[in-house]
Amino acid sequence: MYTILLSAGWPIWPLLALSIVGLAILMERSWYLRQRHIAPQADLEVAFGIAEGLASGKAAPTGLIQDLRQNSVIGTLLASILSEKQAGHSAGQAIEELAVLADTTWIKLERYLGALATIATLAPLLGLFGTVVGMIEIFGSQGIVTGSGGNPQQLANGISIALYNTAFGLLIAIPAYAGWRGLRALADQRQRECEELARQLFKKLYPENT
């Protein structure tokens, strides 16, 4: 692999940097968007347990709601509804507070996905740039630029730069694009799941408004 990188010339190094960044984003987002991380069952049980108490007129410990708010993404949303209900706020106020919080939460779910899409776009362009550099070396080796005689070694080097960069650019762009599409779909799915759970809790606490 190291020999291939050396043969590809200097244009390969920006592509290598993109591949490292893209791989890091894929791994981080795949870990972050796990269902047990976004909406762990323990937090759901705590939230709906608190809702049962509030619905029957029992106040919940403030510290318990604060802990729920910090535990997970869904915990943050459900804790907001519980806090509004415990404070005696109306359904309209609870919805307004939840909407503001949800906008911030969805941004967290989509974090870095724009960068991954950018990598998928830039990688083939950088590969094309490396190809152009290789073609320039080919023309130079054949005396088209300098007017000198052909140099077979430079010709082979230029061809290797062109082909390696093209291949490496596609090798980065294809999985980056596929990963972006998959993670985007996963983020949308997690958003829908959180919205449904928040709706269920809201319906439980404000039955007259559902």
Q: What is the 3-state secondary structure (H, E, C) of 129-188?
A: HHHHHHHHHHHHHCCCCCCCCCCHHHHHHHHHHHHHHHHHHHHHHHHHHHHHHHHHHHHH
- Res 150: pLDDT: 56
- Res 2: pLDDT: 58
- Res 151: pLDDT: 61
Q: What is the pTM (predicted TM-score) of this model? A: 0.81
Q: For the chain, give the longest Cα–Cα distance.
A: 93
- Res 145: pLDDT: 47
> Which residue stretches of the chain have pLDDT < 70?
1-9, 140-158, 209-210
- Res 21: pLDDT: 96
Comparing CA positions, the residue from 73, 49, 44, 71 lying closest to residue 60 is 49
**Do the beta carbons of residue 62 and residue 27 sit within 8 Å?**
no
